[in-house]
Amino acid sequence: MSEASALLFPGQGSHVPRMRQAVERHRPELLELACMEVGDDPFERVSDGTAYQQPAIYCASLAGFTGLGEPEAGFVAGHSLGEFAALVAAGGLSAEDGLRLVALRGRLMQRGAESSGAAGMVAVRAPVERAAAIADRTGLSLANDNSPQQTVLSGPAEALDAAIDAATRAGLRTKRLPVAGAFHSPAMDGAVPELAAALAAVEVRPPRVPVISAVTAAPFDDVRRRLAEGLTRPVRWRETLLTLHERGVRRYLEVGPGKVLTGLVRKTLSGVRAEAAEGLMGAHA
């Protein structure tokens, strides 16, 4: 029996140069729709915030999927934003509906960030238990459980400073992330109703293969509910990878820009093969 494989789709922050060329080549219809939905070329403004970065990464991820010949796998998963591309790859959403939802999500998250005051996110080089203890003491939210060595906290700027100080005193390394909002925290509560309404209006089909939700670390049970919850609930990526491993997955292919998820697989699982298809961005430009 051949070993099981999984396709992984990255989230925000995974943008790389020349993504636009890959989308032009493999999914030009998505480039046109993205410009219409955003009101500008998102690739030219990818550094201007989540409203542009999210649709750009989504389009680049699906361009990578198409450029690879739409490979089949036993499972699919996505990190936060990547869940939308993962569901498209598994046949659960149309690419067009996914893009419209992602463009709305990006706008809502940027609006939430701008209205919540000074806030952000910090990565702590520590397992989730140690980082969660710091979050509890400083009033932050647990945003991402990425690997046994990386947890991301989210919240107000003053609390982030306190958490960085606490982590440093505990001998832990930290890195302030280049985002202006407290994503995956209650600061995004105001974005949930509008995204949920948009999700209610799109067709959701049963996926061809299991898609593991990073909200529950289990196969999607209610796609609309889980995608809406993803705005405020933690990304349980380490647990998602453990779920895939428990189901026999030993080969992981990161589809889309960057290779962040490939690194997280290697830090979380042993005895597996993980590779990124990021070379597609340049090789087919």
Asked if residue 281 has pLDDT above 80, the reply is: no
Give the sheet arrangement for strand 119-124, strand by strand.
Answer: 141-147, 150-156, 119-124, 174-176
Asked if residue 285 has pLDDT above 60, the reply is: no
Q: Which of 255, 238, 263, 203 minimizes the C-alpha distance to 72?
A: 255
Tens-place pLDDT, residues 86-137? 999 999 999 999 999 999 999 999 999 988 788 999 999 999 999 999 999 9
Tens-place pLDDT, residues 213-233? 999 999 999 999 999 999 999
Average pLDDT in the 278-284 region?
A: 47
Which pLDDT does position 282 carry in this prediction? 43
Classify strands 150-156 and 141-147 as parallel, antiparallel or unpaired. antiparallel
Which pLDDT does position 240 carry in this prediction? 98
Tens-place pLDDT, residues 229-277? 999 999 999 999 999 999 999 999 999 898 999 999 999 999 999 999 8
Contacts of 108 (CB under 8 A, 6+ apart): 188, 190, 191, 194, 195, 231
Count the neighbouring beta carbons within 10 Å of the beta carbon of residue 89. 28
Average pLDDT of the chain? 94
Let me know if 79 is a catalytic residue: no
> In the chain, what are the domain boundaries?
4-115+185-283, 119-176
Which pLDDT does position 117 carry in this prediction? 83
> What confidence tier does 2 reach under pLDDT thresholds 50, 70, 90?
low
Which pLDDT does position 13 carry in this prediction? 80
Q: Which one is catalytic: 184, 185, 213, 245?
A: 184
Asked if residue 1 has pLDDT above 80, the reply is: no
Which pLDDT does position 89 carry in this prediction? 98
Q: Which two tokens stand for residue 170?
A: 């505990």
Return the CATH superfamily for domain 4-115+185-283: Malonyl-Coenzyme A Acyl Carrier Protein, domain 2 (3.40.366.10)
Q: Which two tokens stand for residue 209?
A: 């293969």
Tens-place pLDDT, residues 183-202? 999 999 999 999 999 999 99
Q: Which one is catalytic: 61, 80, 116, 185?
A: 80
Q: Which two tokens stand for residue 40?
A: 């500008």
Q: Which two tokens stand for residue 228?
A: 């809406």
Phi, psi of 150 (to 5 degrees): -145, 125
Return the CATH superfamily for domain 119-176: Malonyl-CoA ACP transacylase, ACP-binding (3.30.70.250)
Residue 69: DSSP 8-state: T
Q: Which two tokens stand for residue 106?
A: 């990006």
Contact 215, 79 (CB under 8 A): no
Which pLDDT does position 279 carry in this prediction? 52
Helices 157-169 and 128-138 sit at what angle, rounded to 10 degrees?
A: 130
Let me know if 184 is a catalytic residue: yes
> What confidence tier does 283 reach under pLDDT thresholds 50, 70, 90?
very low
Q: Which of 247, 241, 212, 244 minimizes the C-alpha distance to 226?
A: 212
